[in-house]
Amino acid sequence: MKMSGIGGQAVLEGIMMKNKDKYSVAVRKPDKEIEICVKEYKSIVGDSIVLKIPFVRGIFNLIDSLKLGMSTLMYSAEFYEDEEEEKEKKQKKSEKNSKSLFKDTAESVIMTITVLISFLITIGLFIVLPSVVSDLIKKYAGIESHAFISFVEGILRLIIFLVYIILISVFGDIKRTYMYHGAEHKCINCIEHGLELNVDNVMGSSRFHKRCGTSFLFLVMLISIFLFILIPVYNPFLKIIVRILMIPVVAGISYEILRFAGSHEGKIVNIISAPGVCLQKITTKEPDREMVEVAIKAVEAVFDWKEFIKDFKDS
């Protein structure tokens, strides 16, 4: 196995693939044709040296992933607007550039607000709620041990995370997204194991990958348990503030562990990766051949897999 450096995510009826500063979005449109968009993405910190500093680069990579992920998801959703919205869009194409500029600005504002709301919900669900519940357990159970209460808080966070993943997996659209997620992983695994990128080889590859975002989130949850135990804070409000401020630290550590696991093999690496890979049994599903075709198009738009495989076989 050889690390390719490419990564991506599932979008609505499609796949986003990123290789260095270049990314593509391939979407299966309602007419069954595959639309491919290729663009460049620069980090929010540009080419700053912070992107090369271990334990610091992780938080910026996370922010970049969230920003790019949201914009590509919104792009893919445009192909599935209802007929009324499609008519309005065609009419707007004939309007003045100033109105087009206003539209772009409005969409940017909407995306920013959406990300902010999502962040607040995430904080409330995974930081505030477990902290409040663990404090109530401490109060009414008469437990004084900080380490034990912090451990209970971490377990509650993991339970909420697992329940959330399981609940959303029952929705039809999410299930299809999970299938595209599986197609993304299969393509990367196919390449990184030195196989030619075609539908048959991809279908036969594993849908589980150690560099998956699901594994990253699990590591964040797990590492936060140990870090929060080491930082005793007894004021409930201050504890929540400290938890929020510690997010970059936790993300930085999780990123480095995931990066290492994704590029190495061995028993210890497999043990570290096992829980995240296990969770992928929920967040990825076996794709059909049409989904794999979309994923291959996304990869080919940003990555020379033939040259990679040639180097793979020569090494």
pLDDT in tens, 168-217: 888 878 999 999 999 999 999 999 999 999 999 999 999 999 889 888 98
* pLDDT at position 96: 43
Q: What is the pLDDT of residue 259?
A: 86
Please tell me whether the overall predicted TM-score, pTM, comes out greater than 0.75 for this model. Answer: yes
Which distant-in-sequence residues (6+ apart) come within 8 Å of 145 by Cβ?
none
In angstroms, rounded to a whole number, what is the distance separating the alpha carbons of residues 33 and 40? 23
Tokens (6 digits) for 303: 């990555």
DSSP string, 74-129: HHHHGGG--HHHHHHHHHHTTS-HHHHHHHHHHHHHHHHHHHHHHHHHHHIIIIIH
Place 131 in a pLDDT band, splitting at 50, 70 and 90. Answer: very high
The dihedral region occupied by 208, where left means phi > 0, alpha psi between -120 and 50, and beta the remainder, is: beta
pLDDT band, very low/low/confident/very high, at 105 (cuts 50, 70, 90): low
- Residues paired with 67 in a beta bridge: none
Cβ-based neighbours of 73, under 8 Å, separated by 6 or more: 11, 12
- Cα 73 to Cα 198: distance, rounded to the nearest angstrom: 25
Contact present, 258 and 57 (Cβ < 8 Å): no
CA angle 199, 202, 203 (to 5 degrees): 80
Single out the residue of 63, 96, 72, 91 nearest to residue 15, CA to CA.
Answer: 72
Q: Write down the pLDDT at residue 271.
A: 86
121-127 average pLDDT score:
90
